[in-house]
Amino acid sequence: MKDIQYQNHIYHTKPVRPAWFSKTFPSISFYLPFMRVIIQASGVCKRGMYSRSKWCHSSFRIFEHLERIGAQIEITGIEHLEQVGDSCVIIGNHMSLLETVILPCIVQSVRDVTFVVKQSLLDYPIFKHVMRFCDPVAVSRTNPREDFKAVMTGGKERLGKGISIIVFPQTTRTVTFQPEQFNTIGVKLAQKAKVPIIPLALKTDAWGNGKHLKDFGCIDTSRIIRFAFGEPISVQGRGSDEHQQVIDFIQQKQDEWA
């Protein structure tokens, strides 16, 4: 299986010249093969033949389709994912559906991983089969008390099995980072499970929000897709300092990329 080829733990998309149709109609050129990947993966899931390596491969196919239409992808800090122990909590900002479908081929190639996701994603037509396969921790976003309990219980259970957790602590996806909406649930999970935190800054507004279907907006290949992983953070005490370190890392990267 092909995977991402890093140079000194850094990845940059190699210059490509997309076909005329892809350059002129990038959204159509991307969504058609994207849906084909999801439908194929869903079919394999329903037959009980899906695996983590196939999940990673499906994600990588989407990664490649983005590059074929002219999108530029940059990944840094992958070495920090490699240096932690059995599992970790990856805490990042949230911009679009893109990170949900691309992060598996970035993180799963290094260590087993799953997500904390909205329950609605597990009920999404076709897409739900792949999401359910990765055994995420589901939250409602309507009952904070129950959501906190679900993350603490389900998250700790998965971390104990060596499965890392990706958490997006914002209340909603935003194209600009808003620290005041960034809650401490990821830090509290890492504290409870006694595992390190890996901060994740991302910029994925190349995948826009749609007017009628929020998850499927226009693809803007002029905007670079960026993922930056920070150094591991061990939680001490109540975790307030560590929470601020995550925020500072993400804010610093957003400022650099701006």
**Tens-digit pLDDT profile for residues 127-183:** 899 999 999 999 987 888 999 999 999 999 999 999 999 999 987 788 889 899 899
What does the block give as tokens for 58? 């499906």
Sign of the C-alpha dihedral computed for residues 201, 203, 207 and 212 taken in this order: positive
**What pTM value is reported for the model?**
0.95
pLDDT at 13 over 90: yes
pLDDT of residue 3: 84
Select from 58, 197, 22 the least CA-distant residue to 134: 58
Distance CA 134, CA 94 (A): 19
The answer to whether residue 9 scores a pLDDT higher than 70 is yes
pLDDT at 213 over 80: no
The three-point CA angle 209-211-217 to 5° equals: 35
- Position 1 scores a pLDDT of 57
- The pLDDT, as a whole number, for residue 47 is 95
pLDDT at 236 over 80: yes
pLDDT of residue 76: 98
Domains of the chain: residue spans and CATH = 11-257 (3.40.1130)
Q: If DSSP states are collapsed to H, E and C, what string results for 58-107?
A: HHHHHHHHHHHCCCCEEEECHHHHHHCCCCCEEEECCCCCHHHHHHHHHH
Please say if the pLDDT value at position 78 is more than 70: yes
Do 38 and 130 contact (CB within 8 A), yes or no? Answer: yes
